[in-house]
Amino acid sequence: MKEVCLTLKIVIIVIGSIILYLIIIRIARKLIHFPAPFFIGRFLDSNHRRRLQPPYKIIQASSIKIGMKALEIGCGSGAFTTFVARAIGNDGIVYALDIQPKMLEQLKNKLNRAENKDIRNIMPLLASAYDLPLPDDSLDIVYMVSVFQEIPDKNKTLKEIKRVLKPGGILSISEFFIDPDYPFSSTTIKQGTKGGFEFDKVFGNFWNYTVRFLKPVDN
């Protein structure tokens, strides 16, 4: 009986510690906005994370298809980039954008591995989400995975995304509860519509969701 009580206490302490950590880190993130540091790139680009955020679900929810021209904002070390690149195929292209040079270095190293030699449709871009180095009305889709809430000026970013998307183009925003910046899906929908996008559909659940928007065809 004592062993059971001790085990229960340990479980309660662990769960309580996790909850306390999430509360503290989320309060800190509300006060200070900064991108995920490059040194956690290995964790972000890991099978452990992809088990929690399966790439195929994001691809399906985002309506990513062969031949598309796509932009990933905040690609990091490429946790989802290679999966999207293969889904799009060599007739399409994935512009992998990040503001941190060391994240893009990790992505380039990943693309040089033997298992990724077949991928030839990823173009790394070092740039800010406030100034996308792409022409007007040139993309079929812009997607972000646990990135949008890290960006301080969301309206400025949405304005740029709207500029580079073709009329009727897709904006896909995926979020995951464990992320310190996690917002409710209703918050993401409100932010997207405020930025001039049409809400299309939300996929997933409270813990792990993707919201899909469309650029109005009359803009």
| Most distant CA atoms of the chain, gap in Å | 69
Contacts of 40 (CB under 8 A, 6+ apart): none
Structure tokens at 69: 């021209």
The pLDDT confidence band at residue 19, using thresholds 50, 70 and 90, is very low
CA atoms lying within 13 Å on the CB side of residue 52: 17
Buried b (16+ CB within 10 A) or exposed e, 8-25: eeeeeeeeeeeeeeeeee
Residue 103: φ, ψ to 5°? -65, -45
pLDDT digits (tens, 9 = 90+) for 176-212: 988 888 999 999 999 999 999 999 999 999 999 999 9
* pLDDT in the model for residue 12: 63
- Give the length of the chain: 219
Band (pLDDT 50/70/90 cuts) for residue 52 is: confident
Q: Is 67 exposed, middle or buried (0-12, 13-18, 19+ CB in 10 A)?
A: exposed
Classified by CATH at the fold level, domain 35-214 comes out as: Rossmann fold (3.40.50)
Which among 39, 45, 38 has a CA at the least distance from the CA of 111?
Answer: 45
Those residues whose C-beta lies under 8 Å from the C-beta of residue 144, and which sit 6 or more positions away, are: 72, 73, 74, 172, 173, 174
Q: Which of 45-49, 66-70, 75-79, 95-99 has the lowest mean pLDDT?
A: 45-49
User: Would you call 184 exposed, middle or buried from its count of C-beta atoms within 10 A (0-12, 13-18, 19+)?
Assistant: exposed
Q: What percent of the chain has pLDDT over 70?
A: 78
Q: What is the pLDDT of residues 81-138, one digit of tens each?
A: 999 999 999 999 999 999 999 999 999 999 999 999 999 999 999 999 999 999 999 9
**Within a 10 A sphere around the Cβ of 185, how many other Cβ atoms?**
17
CA-to-CA dists, residue 152 to 117, 191, 194, angstroms = 36, 12, 15
Question: Which H helix or E strand runs over 83?
Answer: helix 81-88
